[in-house]
Amino acid sequence: MPLTRLRSQWDALRLPDFTSDAWRGVLISLVVVGYALGIGYHLTSWAAGVAPALAWRVGYHASIVLCYASLWLLLSASFRQIDRSPVRLFLYAVLAGVTYLVLASLVQALGAGQGLLAGDGNVAGLDYQRRVPLTIAAVVKVNLLSLLEVTFTMLILLLLRSLVFYRRTRSSLFNWRLMMGFFVTAALLTFMRNPADDLGGVVALAMIPAVGMAVVNSFRLSWIVYLPFREKMATMGLALVLMVMLGFSLGDGVLPDVSSYTRFYSFPLSVFALLAALFGILYCVTTMLSLLFHLPTTGAFQRKADEVAAIQSLTHLISQVFDLDKLSRTIVASPIDAHSGDVAWLLLMRPGASEPLHLQAVQGAAAADVQETMDIEALFAEVQETQDVLLLDEAPSDRRVRTHPDGAFESLLVVPLLARDDVLGALFVAKDVRYGFETDDVKAIRVFAAQAALALDNARLFEERLEKERMHRELAIAREVQQKLLPQQIPSLRGTSIAASSVSAYEVGGDYYDFVRLDDDRLAFIVGDVAGKGTSGAFYMAEMQGIFRSLSRQAPEPHEFLVAANQALNTTLDRRAFISVVYGILDVGREEFRLARAGHCPVALIDLYGEARLLRSGGIGLGLNEGALFEQSLEVCTERLQPGDVFVLYTDGVVESRNAAGEEYGYTRLKASLQEHRHEDADDLHEALLCDLHTFLGAETYDDDLTLVVVKWHGLPIGVSSPVPQASALSLPT
């Protein structure tokens, strides 16, 4: 296509940057010098009384064309940055027009009535045929009036160019340049023509495409739709004034002969000015007509724009606001700002609250008004069920809506707020007329509701996350406190070595072990496991610690201790909670270990020769029975200590831990491991047992709390009654 090729060539055409200082200097000097030469030329010809020689004439006209081309480039460069509203642009054009008319009238008044020459086409003070000015006033008028007219038409062209280029496309640029090209071509065809002559057929032909392109360009009016109503009216008035002024400048009415002077000055300039003025008039006409037709749709367009703005502000909120009240206010304001409704309110679900439905925000009416007029819960129940929009075109005829005295709720729209298949609440919008909601209103409100749901869901997630973090911190504190309840140091006792550790499967656990040294010979032990719901275990464990620390000194013997502990716990433990413990006294003076089992895992005992036993004496868990049965069933077992004896106390986390295949560690494996490592001291034995358990489990994570206490009796050297160094106190990190 030759046209497209032409276009791309046009696009590739890059003019020099006339805004640069260097170019501006060149252009200004070209304008000044050319203009001064023109004045000189006219003065010379006036003084001589005859037109200068042909060569001079050619030089003059060329320099004038160059001068005004430079002026155009200068003005064009300074207008390139302009980005004003259409009303302003029209206002500037009108102001330019007024200035032009005033100045031109003043100049016209100079030397009026002098040097009249009869004859067609002759203007005061000018001899068209001989091409000489007759008076000095005529010289001034020729130069000034041409400058004024051409500058004015250039300004109009440039101001309108900003409008034509609104939302420019490649084709709009191309059309503009083509028009300018035709203008210049038609103008230059009259180069050196005698001002007394007509335009001539060729020029008239050349003007046809120029006018054609002017018509095409005058339909570039896309800026009109975006104008608010008032600005449309203002623009229409200004366009009318501008059109009239351009008409005056063309015709002979108010300013007779201005164009005749310009034509005398330079024929091409007058043609250019004529075409520019023509374009100006055309553009004003199309503008006025278009504005006239667009006036009625302004309201609808404005509403759409408000809708978009309201959605934008909501979308902006989603990422910013986690304050529910602020969010709700914005949500209910949106449909009203967008003119989709008169009253709007939000009903939110508050899971866990005593009243699960909450009227969060009302805009456009009082909350009491809303609640008295309709059963919002029932309306909400319906949209919650259908998860779809509920539209009541005649709201008062619905059984759930009463008639409001002011008729504020004549039509009603209820939109559920859906987020991740969950109904968070509903957005209610009401209008004071029946059938007030059009399809696009419903659409717009649905969009608001969708945005609102997203924003509310975000706010909710944010809150949940905060809550989770808070819980996490609290549990970390609880864990720290609980760790402090476990012995930080294991007391030493001659002839024995002891090692102990406890690990919780979760943040806080229900396992407990402790020691109290009663005197030089006796150490009280406890290992326990609280069975209770969740974190309650941690509290019972703390209670157990208190009981152990105080009671073991008052009633150290296993039977007395456990009976008293059971009584103490019975009043405080939840019915389904209980504590299983092993309690004992290691008495090195009498070289015996007295212990009792209250529902706990049996103590494992292995002697020097590898003989292993489980000490499974009778006894039920603490807190299971109020007294009689507990006491009846409790048996104390007394073991004579033999050097090399190892006692292992543990919680069910040890024997009931299961590996990936679902097998329990069990008593058999515990015994086997004990037999293998029985010659090591308590520390190494403890570590070896845990290591064996980990190997079996294949992981270091547990499903249950796990406590392991190892006590080894090394024995006393014969005849020595003072403490021996083997007793070691250990504090094990868990």
Partner 1 sequence: MSTFSVSFRDANGVRILDLHGELDAHTASDLEESIQQCHAEGNVNLLINGTDLDYISSAGLGVFMAYVEEIRDDGGDIKIAGLQSKVYNVFDLLGFPVLFDICETEEEALARFEEPAPDAGNASS
- Considering beta carbons, is residue 436 or 621 the nearer one to partner 1? 621
| Stretch near partner 1 under the rule CB under 8 A, chosen from 168-176, 383-391, 449-457, 612-620 | 612-620
- Considering beta carbons, is residue 468 or 576 the nearer one to partner 1? 576
The answer to whether the Cα torsion of 38, 43, 44, 50 is positive or negative is positive
Does the protein bind partner 1 through residue 575 (CB under 8 A)?
yes
- DSSP letter (8 states) at residue 397: G
Cβ 427 to partner 1 shortest distance, Å: 38
Residues 6 or more apart from 437 whose CB is under 8 A from it? 340, 341, 391, 393, 411, 413, 429, 431, 445
Measured between alpha carbons, how far apart are the two ends of the chain, in Å?
A: 85
Does the protein bind partner 1 through residue 3 (CB under 8 A)?
no
Alpha carbons 684 and 26: distance in angstroms, whole number: 98
The pair of structure tokens assigned to 231 is 């600005």
Alpha carbons 333 and 339: distance in angstroms, whole number: 10
- DSSP letter (8 states) at residue 521: S
Does the protein bind partner 1 through residue 628 (CB under 8 A)?
yes
**Residues 100-159 contacting partner 1, CB under 8 A:** none
- Considering beta carbons, is residue 544 or 727 the nearer one to partner 1? 544
Q: Specify the amino acid at residue 505.
A: A
The only residue of 201, 533, 609, 700 in contact with partner 1, by rule CB under 8 A? 533
| Stretch near partner 1 under the rule CB under 8 A, chosen from 98-106, 372-380, 383-391, 613-621 | 613-621
Contact criterion met (CB below 8 Å) for 601 and 650: yes
Q: How many CA atoms lie within 13 A of 712 on its CB side?
A: 22
CA-to-CA separations, 373 to 379, 399, 403, in angstroms, rounded: 12, 11, 7
- Considering beta carbons, is residue 335 or 599 the nearer one to partner 1? 599
The answer to whether the Cα torsion of 383, 386, 391, 397 is positive or negative is negative
Encoded one letter per residue, x for contact with partner 1 by CB under 8 A and - for no contact, window 47-66 reads --------------------
| Stretch near partner 1 under the rule CB under 8 A, chosen from 151-159, 168-176, 302-310, 524-532 | 524-532
Alpha carbons 95 and 392: distance in angstroms, whole number: 55
The only residue of 652, 689, 707, 716 in contact with partner 1, by rule CB under 8 A? 652
Cβ 689 to partner 1 shortest distance, Å: 20
Cβ 575 to partner 1 shortest distance, Å: 5
- Considering beta carbons, is residue 533 or 640 the nearer one to partner 1? 533
- Considering beta carbons, is residue 270 or 651 the nearer one to partner 1? 651
Alpha carbons 694 and 575: distance in angstroms, whole number: 35
Encoded one letter per residue, x for contact with partner 1 by CB under 8 A and - for no contact, window 417-456 reads ----------------------------------------
- Considering beta carbons, is residue 142 or 670 the nearer one to partner 1? 670
- Considering beta carbons, is residue 55 or 628 the nearer one to partner 1? 628
- Considering beta carbons, is residue 132 or 624 the nearer one to partner 1? 624
Cβ 512 to partner 1 shortest distance, Å: 14
The number of beta carbons lying within 10 Å of the beta carbon of residue 130 is 15
Encoded one letter per residue, x for contact with partner 1 by CB under 8 A and - for no contact, window 669-708 reads -----------------------------------x----
Does the protein bind partner 1 through residue 265 (CB under 8 A)?
no
Does the protein bind partner 1 through residue 528 (CB under 8 A)?
no
Cβ 629 to partner 1 shortest distance, Å: 5
Cβ 582 to partner 1 shortest distance, Å: 11
CA dihedral of residues 320, 322, 323, 328 (deg, nearest 10): 80
Encoded one letter per residue, x for contact with partner 1 by CB under 8 A and - for no contact, window 179-198 reads --------------------
The pair of structure tokens assigned to 607 is 């002697």
Does the protein bind partner 1 through residue 482 (CB under 8 A)?
no
Cβ 342 to partner 1 shortest distance, Å: 51
Does the protein bind partner 1 through residue 14 (CB under 8 A)?
no
- Considering beta carbons, is residue 59 or 618 the nearer one to partner 1? 618
| Stretch near partner 1 under the rule CB under 8 A, chosen from 79-87, 290-298, 449-457, 620-628 | 620-628
Stated length of the chain: 734
The only residue of 155, 531, 551, 568 in contact with partner 1, by rule CB under 8 A? 531
Does the protein bind partner 1 through residue 576 (CB under 8 A)?
yes
Contact criterion met (CB below 8 Å) for 126 and 261: yes
Cβ 465 to partner 1 shortest distance, Å: 25
Contact criterion met (CB below 8 Å) for 599 and 621: yes
Cβ 656 to partner 1 shortest distance, Å: 8
DSSP string of 183-234, one letter each residue: HHHHHHTTTT--TTS---HHHHHHHHHHHHHHHHHTT--GGGGGS-HHHHHH
Does the protein bind partner 1 through residue 529 (CB under 8 A)?
yes
The only residue of 413, 620, 709, 727 in contact with partner 1, by rule CB under 8 A? 620
Does the protein bind partner 1 through residue 625 (CB under 8 A)?
yes
Total binding residues toward partner 1, as defined by CB under 8 A: 28
Contact criterion met (CB below 8 Å) for 649 and 674: no
Does the protein bind partner 1 through residue 526 (CB under 8 A)?
no
Residues 6 or more apart from 365 whose CB is under 8 A from it? 343, 345, 408, 430
Residues 6 or more apart from 454 whose CB is under 8 A from it? 318, 419
- Could you tell me which of 484, 422, 490 has the C-alpha nearest to residue 453? 422
Encoded one letter per residue, x for contact with partner 1 by CB under 8 A and - for no contact, window 534-573 reads ----------------------------------------
Alpha carbons 132 and 218: distance in angstroms, whole number: 39
Residues 6 or more apart from 610 whose CB is under 8 A from it? 675, 678
The only residue of 34, 268, 619, 715 in contact with partner 1, by rule CB under 8 A? 619
Main-chain dihedrals φ then ψ at residue 441, nearest 5 degrees = -65, -50
- Considering beta carbons, is residue 7 or 597 the nearer one to partner 1? 597
The only residue of 58, 368, 629, 720 in contact with partner 1, by rule CB under 8 A? 629
- Could you tell me which of 17, 14, 65 has the C-alpha nearest to residue 37? 65
Residue by residue, what is the 3-state secondary structure of 601-648?
CCEEEECCCCCEEEECCCCCCECCCCCHHHHHHCCEEEEECCCCCEEE
Does the protein bind partner 1 through residue 637 (CB under 8 A)?
no
Does the protein bind partner 1 through residue 596 (CB under 8 A)?
no
- Considering beta carbons, is residue 581 or 693 the nearer one to partner 1? 581
DSSP string of 101-155, one letter each residue: HHHHHHHHHTTTTTT---STT--TTEETTTTEESSHHHHHHHHHHHHHHHHHHHH
Q: Is 187 exposed, middle or buried (0-12, 13-18, 19+ CB in 10 A)?
A: buried
| Stretch near partner 1 under the rule CB under 8 A, chosen from 154-162, 173-181, 402-410, 525-533 | 525-533
- Considering beta carbons, is residue 529 or 639 the nearer one to partner 1? 529
The only residue of 570, 633, 638, 659 in contact with partner 1, by rule CB under 8 A? 633
| Stretch near partner 1 under the rule CB under 8 A, chosen from 245-253, 384-392, 469-477, 597-605 | 597-605
Cβ 434 to partner 1 shortest distance, Å: 52
Alpha carbons 673 and 694: distance in angstroms, whole number: 12
- Considering beta carbons, is residue 199 or 598 the nearer one to partner 1? 598
Give me the residues that bind partner 1 (CB under 8 A), please: 529, 531-533, 575-578, 580, 598-602, 616, 618-621, 624-625, 628-629, 632-633, 652, 656, 704
